[in-house]
Structure 1
Amino acid sequence: MPCVYNSRGRSLLFLNITLHLHFMAKLVSSQVWHGNTISQGFNLTATDFLTSQSGEFKLQFLSLPDSSQNYYLGITWKGECIWLANRNNPLHLFTEPRFLIDEYGDMKILYSEDAVTISIYSSEAPKQQHRINASATLTDGGSLELSEKDEAGNKKRSLWSSFDYPNNILLPGMKLGFDKVKGNRCNLTSWVASQNPDLGSFTFGIDMDSNNTIQLGIWWRGNLYWSGGALLQWPDDDPSYMILYYFENLESALFSNSSDGNEVALELYGYLQDAIGLNPQGELTMGASVSCNRKSPAFVKGCEPPKPPNCRHPDAYVSMLNNQYGSMSKEGYKVEGTDDAPLYDCGVRCLMNCSCAAYSFTNNDGTGCQIWDNTTNFKESLDGQQIYFIRDDKRDNPQDIGVGKTKTNQKLLIVGVVGGALLTLMSATAYICHLLRRKGRIEAEKRLNQKKLLNEIGDIAVPFAENGKGKEFSKTEKTGHEIHIFSFESMAKATNNFSSTNKLGEGGFGPVYKVNLNI
């Protein structure tokens, strides 16, 4: 069966069986195991499965969609993958895996014609001297329990339990904690990606702080990401919330999920989901969540996500909710050493790079890392690539932060164009003013020269009108005193601007010029 992630990012199983054709050929002849216990001498193959007595839990080989080359031995509950025996060591096609318990009580997976072994449990006792009677049972609580039996078939002692080796799901009855003496820890660990159950970068469990105080929390790469003080203050009388009880003695410290039917899931990006439970009507309901995304309604106190460098806004943060589909104007830079890195780790790398504005995965399963700097433009497109963005509380969308500073560049371009136009207009205006001033100076100099020439001519009877201009030249126009009146312009014109070639002489009243009356 293929194990898939739904829209919440949780792993679910399609109800239809889609085993590979390589195994389907043996379906008719293969044994389909419906019991809840596997004993020595029996094999669980790719077409077999165990079921708990309640019928709610199954143990079987399953595959992940988009990763049909990989197979896992896992436990499912209500169609959900809750535990994988070989999460970081997947099987491949045509290997014909089988799950068994040998004569020493060791529990393992054999494949490739038994040439390769994946050990699930191995006794520390010397093999040739310690053969035991053992069997593994899938309980109604969802755990796979390996026990040693006496000669009568009764349980003698417990050897191993899947509850002590959780993946990313904390079922009711499971415990998180550590052995103070041996140093063993029992934590939840996130998946790398939705189709890659390998160990991710987030863990949920308990540890000691710097004051040697036991604390519940989420860690990212060993750094405290969320402190669970707020979680412990949740009301115990609300069935929609998980209920955690704390136990401590000289040898161990444990937290137990004691809620009635609610599982706790550590998601890919450090979200803690009190995922699926049943309400009194028997309907699936969603429980409480813990998120360090400030925009999430599940945001809680106690969050300590990676802090941005000084070159960024102090509110900048990494969030998997801040993504859009589209394309970038240039190729991203693939970060070395991140071929199998979780997407959140890629986001942190981008956050710590002052010039990085966007990032995304490089592999089909959602792993790998490529980043884009802030000179790259983003174009939204529903059929494009999924692009994630660095955010802060002031900027909450790709266009606002301007991947490639698109809007900022547009604003600068508009300012530049408008400023250039204004500068051009101002320059043109100044040039026109300069021309007008120059023309005014020329006119003023011309009038000054005219006055000088008039002074040279002497005080002749040439009255000027109020506007400073005399009457046009006329051969017949006379005043009442029979005196001819000429304008300065007409005299200048008639004498060729008082040219020396037209000068006849000079007397007591000044120079005398001949005039050309035909002009």
Structure 2
Amino acid sequence: MGFSSRANLFFVLLMLCCCVLDVGIAIDTITSSQSIKDPEVLTSKDGNFTLGFFTPQNSTNRYVGIWWKSQSTIIWVANRNQPLNDSSGIVTIHEDGNLVLLKGQKQVIWTTNLSNSSSNRTSQFSDYGKLVLTEATTGNILWDSFQQPSNTLLPGMKLSTNNSTGKKVELTSWKSPSNPSVGSFSSGVVQGINIVEVFIWNETQPYWRSGPWNGRLFTGIQSMATLYRTGFQGGNDGEGYANIYYTIPSSSEFLIYMLNLQGQLLLTEWDDERKEMEVTWTSQDSDCDVYGICGSFAICNAQSSPICSCLKGFEARNKEEWNRQNWTGGCVRRTQLQCERVKDHNTSTDTKEDGFLKLQMVKVPYFAEGSPVEPDICRSQCLENCSCVAYSHDDGIGCMSWTGNLLDIQQFSDAGLDLYVRIAHTELDKGKNTKIIIIITVIIGAVVIITCSCAYVMRRTSNHPAKIWHLIKLRKGNRNGFVQSKFDETPEHPSHRVIEELTQVQQQEMFVFDFKRVATATNNFHQSNKLGQGGFGPVYKVP
């Protein structure tokens, strides 16, 4: 082989090495002069998070996303709705200062879309997979990926809403496993009057909700006590925003919430031994977790069959549909409230004030109004307002009251809150009367059973023969003894049966002999008739 051939071979090998090194290079900062090209990556300082190009399963499109450890855990996607159809993608700082994804050298596929321009900007990872765009000179964060989440809630990422501006930060599901574009389900924060909840929507319809946030936990999540280690925080921030976020106590743990294709929030945790994410909680344990499955003024209990039932004092709006387990019509009030009869000038003789039915350990309904008052004031305020149909109280929330239909009530086996539902006084009396009837029935039944048992025993014992006439107790001064008859020693009546039969015969059935007869029978207690002596005195035989 000549020198020129060897030189050419060396040049080819050098170029191949450069290409391999170029593919394997991982940078930690993107600038206007330092970009990443498909398939290059940007990595976090701890090496756990990666920004790069990926292709979903059963797809040929290319996307820019962030993943944890491996591409099996994609936590953020930049160009969700604008996929690349080739490997010409470049992520860089554009001339206007935005972080952009380019197709080739010119076509902008995705951008951070900041209005103020500057060329002196950099992009890199912050804590927990947050991709940030900063001003190089001041270090101020101008944009971060947590403001535009995909389907995953990360530690420190805030779900938020502002009722005044309408601005929201929420999760959106993928359309399919091969298509990360925005799907049917979304999850975010809903802010009521002094009440904050997390919702999942199917398109525009509510699909699941967390129950009110009380500053420590979501009261509508029964297993929240076990989830509390993720350290949820939130509420109103004083600037018009209501937000919810969580932190994790240890950097060695990695917990994320993901909104899946079926509209379920999944809590997943990194299993370091198996090197994969493991699901440890889901927002939908049963059909009762589906929003409003039983309709209005009904309660859902996953332990019952059927799972839906009308509240006390209410009946199915459409009994035929209800019996077919189509519960969407819900229930209606059976007896008009006293305050409504007064407004309608109804001259009913029942003038007793309405009362409250107490439901314990439940997920309280949606559309509550909150006020910071004590429980007794909460009750009186509801009773004085005829539009108020229920109230509840929690130390962290205060008073909650409802004026419309009661929707999405769920029975828990523990946790939850107490809910007081307003019903007519006659409906409360029905419950008391039922209890009285049950108690009286039980008492009468017990008396009948005892009477029959006594009659049976008396009938059996009245015809019972005197079986132990031969046992008598002797008393003479300070001496006690038993007289044993020869009859005891016959095979038909062995002595050991006497003791057994003694317990079966009443005292009045025994023959009693006076002292004179006993003395005569034993020849005045002659020694020749004495059999022996025990702890109760001497024993004699009857000749």
Q: TM-score, normalised by structure 1?
A: 0.48
Q: TM-score, normalised by structure 2?
A: 0.46
The answer to which structure has the higher helix fraction is: 2
